[in-house]
Structure 1
Amino acid sequence: MTDGLEADVEGMDGIAERRDELAARVRTHAGEIARELAVLQGGDYGQETFDTDGGSWTLKYEAGDVQYLRFDPNSGSETYVVSSKQPPEPEPLETAMADYGAFVAAYNEYVRSFDGLLADVPDEFPEVESTAELVAERDRIVDRIRDVGNAMASQLHRYDGEYGTYAATLSGTRWELKWEGDVASYLRVGGSDGTYLLSQYGPPSAPEVRRLAEDVPKFVADFNEHVDELEADLEGVRLEDG
Structure 2
Amino acid sequence: MDADISSTEAVAERREEILAAVETHAGRIARELAVLKGGDYGSETFNTDAGEWTVKYEAGALQYLRFSGKGGGETYVVSTHRPPDPKELATAMGDYDAFVAAYNAYVESLDGVLDGVTDEFPDVASTESVVAERDRIVGTIRETSNAMAGQLHRYEGDAYGTFAKRVDGKRWELKWEDGLASYLRVGGEGGIYLVSQYSPPSAQDVRTLADDFAGFVAAFNDHVDDLDADLSTVSFDD
What pairs with 1:14-93 in structure 2 (closer than 5 Å)?
A: 14-93=10-89
1:133 paired with 2:129, answer yes
Separation in structure 2 between the aligned mates of residue 13 and residue 208 of structure 1, nearest angstrom: 76
Separation in structure 1 between the aligned mates of residue 72 and residue 220 of structure 2, nearest angstrom: 82
What pairs with 1:135-174 in structure 2 (closer than 5 Å)?
A: 135-160=131-156, 161-174=158-171
1:222 paired with 2:219, answer yes
SS at match of 1:159: helix
Separation in structure 2 between the aligned mates of residue 31 and residue 165 of structure 1, nearest angstrom: 63
SS at match of 2:142: helix
Stretches of structure 1 lacking an aligned partner (at least 5 in a row): none
The two structures have a TM-score, normalised by structure 1, of 0.95
Separation in structure 2 between the aligned mates of residue 76 and residue 39 of structure 1, nearest angstrom: 32
Deviations 1:149-176 (A, max 9, x none): 0000001111122111111111111111
Separation in structure 2 between the aligned mates of residue 47 and residue 133 of structure 1, nearest angstrom: 47
Deviations 1:20-46 (A, max 9, x none): 111111111111111111111111111
Paired residue for 2:230? 233
The amino acid that maps onto 1:233 is D
The amino acid that maps onto 1:173 is K
**Aligned counterpart in structure 1 of residue 195 of structure 2, from 195, 198, 202:** 198
How far 1:238 moved relative to its partner?
3.0
SS at match of 2:197: coil
The amino acid that maps onto 1:234 is L
1:118 paired with 2:114, answer yes
Stretches of structure 2 lacking an aligned partner (at least 5 in a row): none
**Aligned counterpart in structure 2 of residue 13 of structure 1, from 9, 12, 19:** 9
Q: Could you list the runs of 4 or more consecutive aligned residues of structure 1 that deviate by over 6 angstroms after TM superposition?
A: none
SS at match of 2:221: helix
The two structures have a TM-score, normalised by structure 2, of 0.96
Deviations 1:67-99 (A, max 9, x none): 111101111421000101111111110110000
